[in-house]
A and B are shown apart, each in its own frame.
Chain A
Amino acid sequence: MKARHKRLAIIAAGLALIIVATILVTNAFRSNLVFFFSPTQVANGEAPKSGNFRIGGLVEQGSLKRLPDGLRVQFKVTDTAKSMLVEYKGILPDLFKEGKGVVAEGAFNQEGLFVATQVLAKHDENYMPPEAAEALAKAQANKTGTLSMENSK
């Protein structure tokens, strides 16, 4: 093999590698995108039936329950229009509180209960996760929308 052929072969191999790498990266990327849904969207059936997604809103007042095994908890997440039940096993983050903002990542189990694998309540007392804030704002807008429609009737 001449030096020129050798160089060509190496360049070709390099290109092939880059193509394979790009395909792998985009695949990994697509399968790891986690989408966010508000409780209203979940109630409308927009969330995937299987696979992970995120929800967010406020932890409903008085909804936090500890199951008898002492480690699993259930609570409701609301965007003030709709609320949904969430189950989580493990220790809740320090800033998790009823009436405060929360984001949870998880999936529906076979009984259709949302089981969270991760609960995020961020670091600042007054901080609201942006997803949660948006869900609340949307629900609020819808509500005032329906109200004004009712008024106009």
Chain B
Amino acid sequence: MIPEIGQFSLILAFCFALIQGIFPLVGVWKGQYNLANTVVPAARAQFIFIIIAFLCLDYSFYVNDFSVLYVASNSNSQLPVMYRLAALWGGHEGSMLLWVTILSVWTMAVTMFVKNLPESFRIRLIAVMGLISIGFLAFILFTSNPFERLIPAAMDGRDLNPLLQDPGMVFHPPVLYMGYVGFSVAFAFAIAALMDGRLDITWARWTRPWTTVAWVFLTLGIAFGSKWAYYELGWGGWWFWDAVENASFMPWLVGTALIHSLAVTEKRDAFKVWTVLLSICAFSLSLLGTFLVRSGVLTSVHAFATDPSRGLFILLFLVVVIGGALLLFALRAPNVGLGERFGVVSRESLLLANNVVLAAAAGAVMLGTLYPLLMDALGAGKISVGPPYFDAVFVAIMVPGIFLLGLGPLAKWKKASLPDIGVRIRVAAIVSLLSAVLIPFIMGKITAMVAMGVFMGIWVISTTWVLLLNRIKTRGLAASHILGTLKAIPLAFYGMLVAHLGVGVFILGVTLVKGYETEQDLRMELHDTATIQNLVFRFDGATEIAGPNYISSQGTVVVLQNGKEITTLKPEKRYYPVQGSVMTEADIKPGVIRDLYVSLGEQLENGAWSVRIYIKPFVQWIWAGCILMAIGGVLALSDRRYRIGNKKVLAETEDLQRVVA
């Protein structure tokens, strides 16, 4: 009964999506506002029915209803409750339901918080989100119904892929999807603005916070995924340039360009056409990501479906959405105008360079990701593009971008002078150069790559610091008023500082772990020891233990430093009988300076095991950097001028900007 209610709700939601997507657009066009005003009630009704459908499916997982095909294929009665609930997005159909659920959450938020916009614009905005929803609901109902019954019901389920049985599974997909789908709001803003012919500062100001929220979620989602791969796959990697990772990384790069270009549009009324194009691209890449990951084009842990009709549907959908959006763009963009002019050396031009770099990086990643698929589709043979390509090209493209990151915020809007910037960055440049030599020296090995990476990381951090000092100085207050000065600086500025600091921390983490990690495969008998750097690893054998739905061989590795035990690691080799699969569960002792990482290979003769030991210096900095970037985004969002209903503040900032300009 419950699954049928879910199914029925989904059909109702589809009907409401049709109303939400089509009627209002016609209404605004014909000037019939009683028709157009159906948009908000339709969006809210859709939201309610999608939530009901979502809850029905999750309830079926909760009660182990194996008469539902999707539940039977992705869950098992032995599975712990937390994973049963998360198993909803463990397969193709449920992931799509999650996608559309999150889309309706975003739509609901838009109906609640977007109030002061001109009516035609607001209606079109919500209607465009309805159109996207129509596409996805149709996809679910016609090709991937999660409520399909299995008759007769299975005795027990096929279980969730053991790789997915991890707390990461509970957070990573929803957070990542919040980011992916969140770009639909920026997309809808852009499309509605093109339809409405209203691309101005107000538009940018309204789009900006939504884009930043989506970007924060996407940043966190990718970081979660990377961290999860690091400890769950068991082989110490944190980024593989896997097509699925790239699929989430491309929208991130373009989204990052977008939040910077929106800043220019809001402050200076420039880059308007470019900003609109980026909004369209960011969401298109999110859709492409969904297509790549879910259509079965890619085969990896993420790709569940290998059903050509689904692939065709998404491909068609992609063509309609992206093609339609670009067509509208081509028709309307020439009327937008270029906006304010700016000098060759100015914050605008530096931000433009940042955008070019980020777009180029996204393009290079796209080439490496899609080329093999294209060749395969054309029957030109199976090819793969190795990670060295991505490493080399990505670093080469980003280096100038990171260098400019240090200069950009120091330059003035409209027209800046190079000598002036030069004076300001003197100290930062010296500090960075010194660290580029000193840090590798302390770590014990100097290579060009590490020196460059350290330079870049410290460059970003030190210029960010200079920026803060400058800001305090221009306020011209005495040291005794420092707290007051710090309080007077807007949160958005702190947001930028923290996010940029995050970039620096991230670069340092990547550089140091790439430069100084060690990896050893060893055959270890009982009480064998291995010495790596100044640490001694002692293998104390393996014992069998039983988990809720698996059996595990748990090894014990004691780590000693100067003869003293510092930690004991317990890596496992788990066997999941339902799917007959084996899983390596590494054990990690994380630290600020380094992670100790041990995983268990295979059992060899007479009690010996093959053991892999990694020492990963500064690897946690990678995720710390991402979290700082996300915090930066949240700080920017908390800025006074975004507080809802605070019209006075809005007016004040407008006055202020007029004065500054």
Q: A17 — which chain B residues lie within 8 A by C-beta? A: 400
Main secondary structure of the interface of B (DSSP, over half): mixed
**CB < 8 Å neighbour of A29 from B367, B579, B584:** B367
Cα distance, A115 to B579, chains bound together (Å)? 31
Cα distance, A34 to B583, chains bound together (Å)? 28
Cα distance, A70 to B610, chains bound together (Å)? 8
When the two chains form their complex, are residues B393 and A70 in contact, meaning their CB atoms are under 8 A apart?
no
With an 8 A cutoff between CB atoms, is A82 at the interface?
no
Cα distance, A54 to B372, chains bound together (Å)? 14
When the two chains form their complex, are residues B382 and A131 in contact, meaning their CB atoms are under 8 A apart?
yes
When the two chains form their complex, are residues A21 and B360 in contact, meaning their CB atoms are under 8 A apart?
yes
When the two chains form their complex, are residues A29 and B344 in contact, meaning their CB atoms are under 8 A apart?
no
Nearest A residue to B304 by beta-carbon distance? A124
Cα distance, A127 to B393, chains bound together (Å)? 32
With an 8 A cutoff between CB atoms, is B364 at the interface?
yes
Q: A66 — which chain B residues lie within 8 A by C-beta? A: 604
- Binary interface encoding of chain A residues 1-33 relative to chain B, with 1 for a CB under 8 A from any of its CBs, else 0: 001001100100000010001001100110111
A35-B393 contact given A70-B610, A71-B521, A95-B581, CB 8 Å threshold: no
With an 8 A cutoff between CB atoms, is A57 at the interface?
no
Nearest A residue to B234 by beta-carbon distance? A94
When the two chains form their complex, are residues B393 and A25 in contact, meaning their CB atoms are under 8 A apart?
yes
Q: B368 — which chain A residues lie within 8 A by C-beta? A: 29
**CB < 8 Å neighbour of B396 from A10, A21, A52, A129:** A21
Cα distance, A31 to B393, chains bound together (Å)? 12
With an 8 A cutoff between CB atoms, is B301 at the interface?
yes
With an 8 A cutoff between CB atoms, is B660 at the interface?
no
With an 8 A cutoff between CB atoms, is A130 at the interface?
yes
Smallest distance from the beta carbon of A102 to chain B beta carbons, Å? 14
- Binary interface encoding of chain A residues 84-100 relative to chain B, with 1 for a CB under 8 A from any of its CBs, else 0: 00000111101100000
B517-531 at interface with A (beta carbon < 8 Å): 521-523
A130-B299 contact given A29-B389, A32-B386, A35-B381, CB 8 Å threshold: yes
Q: How many A-B residue pairs have CB under 8 A?
A: 97
When the two chains form their complex, are residues B604 and A70 in contact, meaning their CB atoms are under 8 A apart?
yes
With an 8 A cutoff between CB atoms, is B582 at the interface?
yes
Smallest distance from the beta carbon of B142 to chain A beta carbons, Å? 26
Nearest A residue to B164 by beta-carbon distance? A123
Q: B381 — which chain A residues lie within 8 A by C-beta? A: 35-36
Taking each of A3, A10, A95, A124, which has the highest tally of chain B beta carbons within 10 Å of its own beta carbon?
A124
Taking each of B389, B522, B584, B601, which has the highest tally of chain A beta carbons within 10 Å of its own beta carbon?
B389
When the two chains form their complex, are residues A6 and B344 in contact, meaning their CB atoms are under 8 A apart?
yes
**CB < 8 Å neighbour of B521 from A33, A52, A89, A105:** A89
When the two chains form their complex, are residues A28 and B523 in contact, meaning their CB atoms are under 8 A apart?
no
With an 8 A cutoff between CB atoms, is B650 at the interface?
no
**CB < 8 Å neighbour of B344 from A10, A31, A129, A134:** A10
B467-489 at interface with A (beta carbon < 8 Å): none
Q: A52 — which chain B residues lie within 8 A by C-beta? A: 386
When the two chains form their complex, are residues B579 and A32 in contact, meaning their CB atoms are under 8 A apart?
no
Nearest A residue to B574 by beta-carbon distance? A94
Nearest B residue to A134 by beta-carbon distance? B382
A94-B389 contact given A33-B383, A71-B610, A123-B161, CB 8 Å threshold: no
When the two chains form their complex, are residues A32 and B610 in contact, meaning their CB atoms are under 8 A apart?
no
Cα distance, A125 to B364, chains bound together (Å)? 34
A101-150 at interface with B (beta carbon < 8 Å): 105, 122-125, 127, 129-131, 134
With an 8 A cutoff between CB atoms, is B384 at the interface?
yes
Nearest B residue to A32 by beta-carbon distance? B389
When the two chains form their complex, are residues A122 and B299 in contact, meaning their CB atoms are under 8 A apart?
yes
With an 8 A cutoff between CB atoms, is B124 at the interface?
no
Smallest distance from the beta carbon of A106 to chain B beta carbons, Å? 12
Q: Give the size of the chain B interface in residues (CB under 8 angstroms).
A: 41
- Binary interface encoding of chain B residues 301-326 relative to chain A, with 1 for a CB under 8 A from any of its CBs, else 0: 10000000000000000000000000
With an 8 A cutoff between CB atoms, is B433 at the interface?
no
Q: A124 — which chain B residues lie within 8 A by C-beta? A: 161, 301
Q: B584 — which chain A residues lie within 8 A by C-beta? A: 94
**CB < 8 Å neighbour of A91 from B344, B367, B400, B612:** B612
When the two chains form their complex, are residues B610 and A24 in contact, meaning their CB atoms are under 8 A apart?
no
Smallest distance from the beta carbon of B518 to chain A beta carbons, Å? 14
Cα distance, A76 to B389, chains bound together (Å)? 30
A34-B601 contact given A24-B396, A122-B300, CB 8 Å threshold: no
Smallest distance from the beta carbon of B556 to chain A beta carbons, Å? 18
**CB < 8 Å neighbour of A123 from B163, B523, B599:** B163
When the two chains form their complex, are residues B608 and A70 in contact, meaning their CB atoms are under 8 A apart?
yes
Q: B166 — which chain A residues lie within 8 A by C-beta? A: none
B374-397 at interface with A (beta carbon < 8 Å): 381-386, 388-389, 392-393, 396-397
Nearest A residue to B579 by beta-carbon distance? A125
**CB < 8 Å neighbour of B383 from A25, A35, A71, A134:** A35
Smallest distance from the beta carbon of A83 to chain B beta carbons, Å? 19
Cα distance, A29 to B371, chains bound together (Å)? 10
Cα distance, A31 to B400, chains bound together (Å)? 23
Cα distance, A10 to B608, chains bound together (Å)? 65
Cα distance, A91 to B602, chains bound together (Å)? 7
Q: A24 — which chain B residues lie within 8 A by C-beta? A: 393, 396
Cα distance, A122 to B233, chains bound together (Å)? 11
A49-94 at interface with B (beta carbon < 8 Å): 52, 54, 66, 69-71, 89-92, 94
Cα distance, A10 to B360, chains bound together (Å)? 19
**CB < 8 Å neighbour of B523 from A25, A70, A95:** A70
With an 8 A cutoff between CB atoms, is B580 at the interface?
yes
When the two chains form their complex, are residues A90 and B521 in contact, meaning their CB atoms are under 8 A apart?
yes
Nearest B residue to A6 by beta-carbon distance? B344
Nearest B residue to A52 by beta-carbon distance? B386
Smallest distance from the beta carbon of A39 to chain B beta carbons, Å? 14
A25-B367 contact given A89-B521, A91-B602, CB 8 Å threshold: yes
Nearest A residue to B521 by beta-carbon distance? A90
When the two chains form their complex, are residues A21 and B397 in contact, meaning their CB atoms are under 8 A apart?
yes
Cα distance, A87 to B468, chains bound together (Å)? 56
Taking each of B382, B523, B580, B612, which has the highest tally of chain A beta carbons within 10 Å of its own beta carbon?
B382
Cα distance, A35 to B382, chains bound together (Å)? 6
Cα distance, A84 to B408, chains bound together (Å)? 56
Cα distance, A92 to B612, chains bound together (Å)? 11
Q: A70 — which chain B residues lie within 8 A by C-beta? A: 523, 604, 608, 610
**CB < 8 Å neighbour of B393 from A6, A29, A69:** A29
Q: A21 — which chain B residues lie within 8 A by C-beta? A: 360, 396-397
Q: List 24 contacting pairs A-B, 8 Å CB cutoff, sorted by A.
A: A21-B360, A21-B396, A25-B364, A25-B367, A28-B392, A29-B371, A32-B389, A33-B384, A33-B386, A34-B385, A35-B382, A36-B383, A52-B386, A69-B523, A70-B523, A71-B522, A90-B612, A92-B601, A123-B161, A125-B580, A125-B581, A129-B299, A130-B299, A131-B382
Residues of B within 8 A of A (CB): 161, 163, 234, 299-301, 344, 360, 364, 367-368, 371, 381-386, 388-389, 392-393, 396-397, 400, 521-523, 579-584, 599, 601-602, 604, 608, 610, 612
Given A6-B344, A29-B367, A123-B161, 12 additional A-B pairs, CB 8 A: A24-B396, A28-B389, A28-B393, A29-B393, A31-B389, A32-B392, A34-B384, A35-B383, A91-B610, A122-B299, A123-B163, A125-B581
Cβ-closest 3 pairs across A and B: A91-B601, A32-B389, A70-B523
Residues of A within 8 A of B (CB): 3, 6-7, 10, 17, 21, 24-25, 28-29, 31-36, 52, 54, 66, 69-71, 89-92, 94-95, 105, 122-125, 127, 129-131, 134
